[in-house]
Structures are given as structure tokens and as C-alpha cells.
Amino acid sequence: MSTGVLPLPDDEREPPFPKPGKIFAGPIHRCLIYIFAASLLQWVYGLGANMVQSNITQLTGFFHATVEETTWLVGAYMAPNVSLAIFLIKIRNQYGLRLFAELSIIGFLLTCILHLFVTSLQSAIIIRFFAGIAAAPMSSLAFFYMIEAFAPAKKRTVGLSLNLMNIALAVPLSRLVSPALIDHAGFHALFALEMGLALIGFGCIFYLPLTPIKRAKVIEKIDYLSFGLIAIGLGINAAIMPVGKLYWWRDVSWMGWWLAIAVFCLMAAAVIELNRKNPLIDLRWLFSKEMLHIAIVLLMFRILLSEQATLASNFFNLFGLLNREMEVMHAGVVVGTVLGGLACAIFFKPGREDLFHVIALILLAAGSFMDSHATNLTRPDQMILSQGMIGVGYALFLPPSMSKGLATAIARGPQYILSFIAVFLFTQNTGGLMSSAFFGSLQIVFEKYHSNILTQQIVMSNPIVAANVDKLSQAYGHVINDPVLLHGEGLAELARRSTLEANVLAYNDVFRLYSCIALVVLVMLLIRMALRGFKTMRDKKAQLSTQPA
């Protein structure tokens, strides 16, 4: 076991667990340390990715900036992060896993330290960009440490389920721990916690070895060109998606030009990859019938799961509630996610993917439908059950989908694993950003529609409206003596309440749309399962009829 900065070459070290058991790869106490290290590294990555996004409103005050300006912190982080993991796989295979792990955690620690010296929004955006680069290897390392603890037969079931459960926990945990940190020291406290966790992870990486991989020269010169174009295309898209609905898509010309550049870069990368003998990403295989089905399933679920990530919290932001007031709801999501992850780890086996998807879709549809009945009196404790159900659905969905995709890639050969990872990252990272932008924009459109209808009903000839205006204006009677100004304040207050009600109705429409999408996907999946079962029965009857009596 190497504990120094200069490790032995990977092919000169022994695996940490030479005698695997039925479930764990070695002694239970040592495997539990690997599981702890994996969870820690995944939470370090997840908290870093979500801590700023979960606290945009609070950070506007810290940076003395608008919401639009502060949201660029999210785009700056995601711009390099969404694509870098694709190229890191080749770097790891060429230079060795141990060196990759040690340099990754050191780079991550350096960016955490830089966060402590942030004094302005401009410097924070620059550092968040480099933080997105440094954090990209953390998720891969967490995955390796998790599967290291389990026997080969359990790596793609128990190990994968627990690792993806940790990924799902990132959003609710970031919202649970951030209020106390922000109250203590603002922006710097968020990253002081991240740095503390990273230091523990630093010790784990240098203490715990990983099974070595065989090094090979896999990086070609043209890979840099292909990856550069992919990184620019996906990076521009990731930077714009969080801020698009804030500036509004058609109101600023620069947004269209940058998105056009992103499309051009991705198309150029596709042309290069289609004409390579050893492509970085095998696009022909990715557009095969089998992989398109897996990609569509991953994308549809990621779209559905954006409600659990942001929509419910944004709904309560309408009433001025912050993460501190929503802690009970986020705790329910954490409990649901843990229950779903443990259930998946215990009961999932290859061949049960469709069953787990059906259960997840039912939970997602039911949870979203329950949320669609919200009113302006709804509070977080009334959404504990629905959001917990969505958390369970999230944890039940991801492991079967990724396990099936990995099995398909491994069956084709090691070079196809990189292509599958590219699909998974695109659907989960880029797909998540695009779905949040789409449904967030849709909520604004719905709000304008409902506002238009409600505004038309505010006429002073209606005695109910006139009575409400008089009632609302009474609150200003002790400071305003002019009856005309007093009446105007009553009208303004009624307009504000009308806008709030329009937003509530708009969120209900989006919740309802999520539920309908889940039901449609569920029906399609059930039909597909029925057709597959019918085909299997027909094949069995055909085999029986051909057997001699």
C-alpha cells in the first residue's frame, strides 16, 4: 500500500482485496471505510455543485448583485464540468488511477482554498469556473471507491445503487446544511465546509488504495480537437441555461448568437468523430436503436426529476420562504432517497430494470399530482410526503438504468464504456440544465397567462373587488391621509396578490404537466413490457410445437 505522494506504478501494486466474499470484497470493517470514503467524496462533489445554486437569493446580498448576475456563478461552474469527465476517463487510463486520484484531490483542495479569498462577484465567477474543472474527477473517484468495497457480483447492483443514492442526496443535503453556514460567515462558510470534507477525503485517498488498471496510450492528438469542440459546445449551453429565463430568451441577442456557436461546435465535433477510426465517442453506436432507448429513458427521468431538485423550492420562494423554513421538506426528501437507495441495493438484480422503472414512475406521477393541488396557504410540511415519494422514485430509477447501459457497453467492449458515460453525463447534467430551463420558462409563460385572466377580472364596478381594495387600503390608513393615494395603495396590493396567485396557478400547471408526462411514460413502458411478454410466450409455444412428441 502506497501512502506517499509518489506511488508505485499501477501494474506493480496488488489489489487491496485479494479474496472477495459474497457481498464485500474483503474484511467488513475495511470495506466500510471504502464506503465512507466514497460517500464523502460524492458529497464533496455534490455539495460543491449545488451549494451556490441552492442559495442564490441569499448570495445576492453577500455580493451586492442582482439575481441575474449571481446566477452566473452556476453557469461558470457547470460550463467546464459537464464535459470534462469524458476526457478524464482517457487521462486516467493513460496515466494511472492512483496518480489521477492524488492529483485530482490536490487540485480540488487548492480551489477550495481560493474560495476563502473571494471578495467580489467577478472573482467568485472566475474561481467557480476553475472549481468546476477541479470537481469533475470527484464523482468518478467516489464511484471507484464505492465499487471497490463490493465483490464483483455486487458491484453493478449494491455498489452502483449506493453510489447513485449519494448523488441523489446532494441537492437536499446542500439545502439542509447551508442556512446555518450562511448565517455564520456567508459565502466563505459554504466552502470552508467543502474544504474540511475535502481534507478528510484527501487522507482517505492517500490511505486507501484502489485496484490498479492497466495503462495504455489511448490519447490521440485529434482527441484534443474533438474534445475542445465538445467542451465549447456543451460549456456554452451549460453557462446559458441557468440564466436564460432570467434575461428571457428573445430579449437579448447575444444569447442566440452564443447558442448558435454551441450548435456549430457540436456539429463540427460530430463530423470529426464520424470519420475517425478510433473515435472519442462512437456516435454510430449511440444512435443505434438499443442505445437510443436507454438515452431516452435516462433523459425522460431526468426531466421528471427536476421537480425534486428545484421546482418545489422555487414554489416556496414565492412566499419569501428560504431553505431554513423548508428544512422539514428537505429532510423528507433525504429520508425518501435513503429508503429508495437501500431498497434498490437490496432487491435490484439484472433483469428487474423495467419493474423498478414502473415503481419509480408511479411514485413520480403520484408525488407530482399531489403537489399540483398547492395553494397560497400550502407550506413545506404539507409536501413532505409528496417530495419524499419523488426522492424514492429518483433513487429507484438511476441504478437500474445505469446498470443496463453499462452492461450493454461492456458487452460491446471497453472502448464503448466512454461512449456510454458520455450519454449518461449528457442526459443527467446537460439534460438536467435544459429541462430546468425549459420548465422554469414554462412556469413564467403560464404565470403571464393566468395574470392576464385575473387582471381582467379586477374592475372597480365589481362590488367584491371594490370591497377588497378598501379592505387592503386600510393597512395604510395610519400613514396616508389622501384618499386617492390610499385607494392606489389598495389597488397595488391587490395587484401584488393577483400576481402571487397567478404564480401559484402556474406552478400547479407545471406540477400537473410533470404528472402527465410520468403517466404517459408509464403507459408506454407497460405496453412495451406487455409486447415483450407476448413475444416471449409466442417464442416458447413455437419451440414446443417443433419438439418431437
pLDDT tens digits along 77-111: 888 888 777 777 777 777 766 677 677 778 778 88
184, 219, 254: which is the final residue of a domain?
A: 219
Same domain, 133 and 207: yes
CATH number of the CATH domain containing 397: 1.20.1250.20
If one counts the domains in the chain, the total is: 2
Same domain, 183 and 305: no
Task: Report yes or no: 236 and 261 within 8 Å, Cβ to Cβ.
Answer: yes
Same domain, 285 and 425: yes
Query: Whole-angstrom Cα distance, residue 213 to residue 176?
Result: 38
**pLDDT digits 0-9 by tens, 382-440:** 888 988 888 888 888 888 877 777 777 767 766 666 667 667 767 777 777 888 888 88
Q: Answer whether residue 14 is part of any domain.
A: no
Same domain, 375 and 520: yes
CA dihedral of residues 315, 320, 325, 327 (deg, nearest 10): 40
Same domain, 309 and 161: no
Query: Whole-angstrom Cα distance, residue 66 to residue 86?
Result: 34
Q: Answer whether residue 160 is part of any domain.
A: yes
Q: What is the pLDDT of residue 466?
A: 76
Q: Is the pTM of this model over 0.75?
A: yes
Q: What is the mean pLDDT of residues 498-521?
A: 88
Q: Answer whether residue 169 is part of any domain.
A: yes
Residue 8 has pLDDT above 50, yes or no: no
Q: Answer whether residue 259 is part of any domain.
A: no
Query: Whole-angstrom Cα distance, residue 216 to residue 34?
Result: 26
152 or 185, which is more confident: 152
**pLDDT digits 0-9 by tens, 204-257:** 777 877 776 677 777 778 878 888 888 898 889 888 888 888 888 888 888 889
Q: What is the pLDDT of residue 10?
A: 40
Q: What is the pLDDT of residue 2?
A: 36
- In sequence order, the 6+-apart residues with CB closer than 8 A to the CB of 28 are none
Highest mean pLDDT out of 173-177, 283-287, 472-476: 173-177
**pLDDT digits 0-9 by tens, 370-380:** 988 888 888 88
Q: Answer whether residue 150 is part of any domain.
A: yes
Residue 183 has pLDDT above 80, yes or no: no
Same domain, 128 and 40: yes
Could you tell me the CA-to-CA distances from 351 to 243, 249, 354, 403 in Å, in that order? 41, 43, 8, 10
Q: Answer whether residue 257 is part of any domain.
A: no
Q: Can you say whether residue 493 is alpha, beta or left, with left for phi > 0 and alpha for psi between -120 and 50 degrees? A: alpha
Residue 139 has pLDDT above 80, yes or no: no
Highest mean pLDDT out of 52-61, 274-283, 516-525: 516-525
Range of the structural domain that residue 62 is part of = 24-219
Task: Report yes or no: 21 and 141 within 8 Å, Cβ to Cβ.
Answer: no
pLDDT band for position 261 (50/70/90)?
very high
Q: Answer whether residue 13 is part of any domain.
A: no
Query: Whole-angstrom Cα distance, residue 40 to residue 196?
Result: 11
Q: Answer whether residue 132 is part of any domain.
A: yes
pLDDT band for position 264 (50/70/90)?
very high
Query: Whole-angstrom Cα distance, residue 289 to residue 320?
Result: 47
Establish how many alpha carbons lie within 13 A of residue 135's alpha carbon, considering only the half-sphere containing its beta carbon. 27
Average pLDDT of the residues of the chain: 79
50 or 240, which is more confident: 240
- In sequence order, the 6+-apart residues with CB closer than 8 A to the CB of 230 are 83, 86, 265, 266, 269, 280, 281
Query: Whole-angstrom Cα distance, residue 244 to residue 255?
Result: 8
Same domain, 341 and 474: yes
